Structure 1
Amino acid sequence: MTVTFDDAALRARVDPVRARQESRERVTREGRRFGVVLGSGWVVFQSVVLVVGAGALAALAVVAVQFMFGADGADLTTVVLAVLMVLPLAVGRIRSHLRGPREREIEEYRLEQFTAANGLTYSTGELDPERPAALFGIGTSRVASDIVSGPSPRPFEAANYSFDTWVARARMPRVANYVEFALTGSLPPMVLVTKSPAVAASGWEPTAPQERVQIEGDFAARFEVFTTRATEEPVRHLLSPDVQAALTAVAERCDVEVVGDRVYVIARRHLPMAEPAYWEWIEDLAALVSLLEVRGRAEQTAGVTEADPARRTRREALFAAPKGGRAAAVGCLVPLLVGLVAAALITKITTG
C-alpha cells in the first residue's frame, strides 16, 4: 500500500530556535501562556517533592544501617550518603525538565508543518472533548492533545488522549491514542476489546446494552467482541475471515468501537504522532475501515494485503514499550545499594 501522506516535514531537520519561536507565538495566539507557566510550575513542584521525599527515605535507610552496625545515630555521613543516593534521580529530573520542553517544541513544529503540507488541520489540545465513543464518557481531567483532522484518505481525526479514573480515593492516570474515521454507510454497533498481553488496562468498558458475543476461531484469543442482542448476527457477518485477518494485522493491540457513523481505533498508550510510521498506520487503518464498509454492504471483500515487511516492522515499533525505563530504574537502584553498603562499611570502621 502506498503512503498518501507527504511526510517530508516529519523527516526534515528542525532548527530548535525556530521551533521555540513558533511555539511561543502559538501559545500567545491560543491564549495558553498562563496554563503553560502553571503546568511547568506544577511539574517542577512534583519533581522537588519526589526528590526530597526520596532523599528522606534514603536518609532513614542509612540511619537504619548505621544503627545495625553500632552507630549512636545520624551524623554528617548520613546526610552525605543520602544526597549521593538521590543525586542520579535529581540529575535525571533536571535533564528531563531541560530537554522535555525543547523536544515538545520540535514535535509541535513538525506536526504543524506536516499538516500544512497535507491539507490537514492541527490543534495542540482540547479540554473535555465530546465524542460519541465510550472512552470519552468516563473519567476526569480529560484532555486531547495534538489533534489532527482532515478529509483524506477519508474524513478522520487523530489525537493523543489523557484522563483520570478513580478507585476509592486513588487517582489512576490513563492515556490513549484514538483515530476516528467517518463512515459513508452504516455498520452494526460493536466494540472489540484487545486481549493482547502487551497493552495496559483500558480504564473503560463497553456500555450497556452491549454484551459479550462468542466468536469461534483464533480471533477469540485476540479480541473480545461486544454488541447488542439485536445486532449479534450482523456483527458475526461483518467479522468475516478477511476482516478478522485485517483487524489482527493492523489493530491487534487496539480497541475498536463502531458507534453511529464513526469507527474509533483506540491504542491504550500515547503514540508518537510526529513519526512517519504513525501516518503509515493511519493509512492502513483507513484501508481497514474501507474493508469493513465493503463487508457491511455484503460485497465481496479482498482483505488488506501488505507486501512490505519493513512497513509492518515500523508499525510494530510504534507500540513497543518506551525505552529507558529499566535503565533509569537500575540507575537509581545502584546508588541506593552502594550507599547502604558504604554506610555499613563506614560505620563498622568508625565504631571499631
Structure 2
Amino acid sequence: MTTPTPGTLPPSFDASALTDPVDPRAVRAFAQELTAGRKTSASTVLAWIIGGFALVIAVSFFGPLLVTALSHAPTPVTLLVLGGILALVALIAFLIVTGVRRAKERRYRLSRFAAANHMDYLDRVENPPLPGMIFRIGNSRLSTDLVRGSSPRFVEFGNYQYTVKTGKNSTTYRWGYVAIRLDVPLPHIVLDAKGNNSVFGSNLPTSFRKDQQLSLEGDFDRHFTLYCPDGYEQDALYLFTPDIMARFIDNAAELDVEIVDDWLLLYTRRPVSSLDPATWAWLFGVVGALITKLDQWARWRDDRLAGVSSARSLGHPVPGSHDLPFAAPAGMLTPPPGVARQGRRLKRNGSWVAVVITVVILILLVWERWN
C-alpha cells in the first residue's frame, strides 16, 4: 500500500467496484453462493419469527376492519382509511425488499472491490478471535464485511458489533476496526485519540488507570493519551520514536490505537468497510504510512525474559516450567520474542458504580444492625 497525498487515491487503489453499475443477476448469484450450505443464524430465525408474529397481528387487527368496511357501502372516510392502511403496508414491504436488495448489492460490491485490490472478502465472522478491548465485551459479537490482505503483512478491515445487557435493557455498540499483524508480541499499549473524544471524555469502552499514562515529547500528547504497563516506559519510548509518532499524528489522529499481543488495532465509531471510496483511500493511506515503520518493532525484545532465556540456555531449571534436555550454545542469551506477564495487559479502572453500591449496602446493613 502506498501513502496517498490528501484528497487523492493511492496509485494501486481501484475503487471502481464501489460505484460502477452492477448486474442484478450477478448480485443474486453471488448472494446465493455466499449463503449456500450455511446454517441459518439465530438472529435470522428470530427476525423471521418476529416478522411472522407481526403479520399475524396485522391480519388479526386489520382483517375484520377490512371485511366490515367492504360489507357496507364504503364512505369517503372508509376509503381514505383503507387506502392509508394499504399504502402503509406497501411502504413497509418496499422498505424491506429495498433493504435486502441493498445489503446484497453492498456485499457484492465489497467482494469485487477486494478482488480488484488483491484482497479477500468475508461477509461475517462470529466471535472474531482478536485480542483487542472491543472484542472482549458483551455478547452477540459479530464482525461483518471483512476485507483482508496478506501482503506485505496481514491486514483486516471490518465492521464490528456487540450487545451489552443491563437488566431488561440491551444496547448494541458498533465499531469499525483495522487489524494489522505484527512480527512479534509487544507490550500492551493504548493510544486514546483526543480528536474523537466526546464532552464526557474518552469514547473507549474500557478505562485504564491513570498512573499508567506516559507523556511523550513534541506534539504527541496533544493528539493522544498513551497508556503503557508499569515498568515499560522505556520500552514505549523505544517503540514510539519521533518518526513513528509523526506517522500516527499525521495519519491516525482520529483513530484510537491498541497494541496487544502481536496485533496493532485501529478503532473508530463509524463503519470502516463501506462503499465510500474516500473512506477506503483514507484507511489505505493510514495503513500504508504505518506498516513501513513496523519492521523496526520486530527487533524489540523484553529484557524481563532474559533471566528465563539464560536459565534455559545454561540448563538450569526455570520455575513453573520443565527442564530442557539440552543447552543452547554459549553466547546465545538474547531474550526470545514475547512479553513478560506484567506487560501483557494494562490495569483497568475498577467500577465506581459497584464500589458505591457496595458501600451503600454496607451502610444500610450497619444501620439496620444498630437500630
Q: Structure 1 residue 134 and structure 2 residue 141: aligned?
A: no
Q: CA deviation at 1:209?
A: 11
Quick one: which amino acid aligns to residue 145 of structure 1? T
SS of the equivalent of 2:190 reads strand
Give the TM-score, by structure 2 length: 0.59
SS of the equivalent of 1:116 reads helix
The equivalent residue for 1:97 is 96
Counterpart mapping for 1:21-100 below 5 A: 21-29=29-37, 31-33=38-40, 37-38=44-45, 40-41=47-48, 44=51, 96-100=95-99
Residue ranges of structure 1 left out of the alignment (5+ in a row): 52-76, 300-352
Q: CA deviation at 1:41?
A: 2.9
The equivalent residue for 2:161 is 162
Quick one: which amino acid aligns to residue 109 of structure 1? Y
Change (3 A) 1:232 1:120: same
Counterpart mapping for 1:1-352 below 5 A: 1=4, 2-29=10-37, 31-33=38-40, 37-38=44-45, 40-41=47-48, 44=51, 96-185=95-184, 187-197=186-196, 202=203, 204-205=205-206, 211-215=212-216, 218-293=219-294, 296=297
Change (3 A) 1:244 1:88: farther
For residues 87 and 229 of structure 2, what CA distance do their matches in structure 1 show?
A: 53
Identity of aligned pairs, percent? 25
The equivalent residue for 2:305 is none
Residue ranges of structure 2 left out of the alignment (5+ in a row): 5-9, 59-76, 301-371
For residues 34 and 232 of structure 1, what CA distance do their matches in structure 2 show?
A: 46
Change (3 A) 1:36 1:101: farther
SS of the equivalent of 2:183 reads coil
For residues 53 and 236 of structure 2, what CA distance do their matches in structure 1 show?
A: 47
Q: CA deviation at 1:135?
A: 1.8
For residues 150 and 40 of structure 1, what CA distance do their matches in structure 2 show?
A: 33
Q: CA deviation at 1:125?
A: 0.6
Q: CA deviation at 1:198?
A: 6.3
For residues 94 and 292 of structure 1, what CA distance do their matches in structure 2 show?
A: 52
Quick one: which amino acid aligns to residue 279 of structure 1? W
For residues 256 and 101 of structure 2, what CA distance do their matches in structure 1 show?
A: 32
For residues 88 and 254 of structure 2, what CA distance do their matches in structure 1 show?
A: 32
Q: CA deviation at 1:140?
A: 0.7
Change (3 A) 1:153 1:194: same
**Structure with greater contact order relative to length (CA < 8 Å, sep ≥ 6):** 1
For residues 88 and 212 of structure 1, what CA distance do their matches in structure 2 show?
A: 59
Q: CA deviation at 1:136?
A: 1.2
The equivalent residue for 1:63 is none
Q: CA deviation at 1:18?
A: 2.7
For residues 208 and 36 of structure 2, what CA distance do their matches in structure 1 show?
A: 40
Per-residue CA distance 1:36-93 (angstroms, 9 max, x = gap): 8536436758999xx9xxxxxxxxxxxxxxxxxxxxxxxxx9xx99x99x99998876
SS of the equivalent of 2:231 reads helix
- Tell me the matched-pair count: 267
For residues 22 and 215 of structure 1, what CA distance do their matches in structure 2 show?
A: 50
Q: CA deviation at 1:228?
A: 0.5
**More helix as a share of residues:** 1
Give the TM-score, by structure 1 length: 0.62
After TM superposition, the structure 1 stretch with the greater mean CA deviation from structure 2, 234-243 or 256-265, is 234-243
SS of the equivalent of 2:235 reads helix
For residues 119 and 36 of structure 2, what CA distance do their matches in structure 1 show?
A: 22
Larger Rg computed on CA atoms: 2
Q: CA deviation at 1:224?
A: 1.8
The answer as to whether partners of 2:158 and 2:273 remain within 8 angstroms in 1 is: no
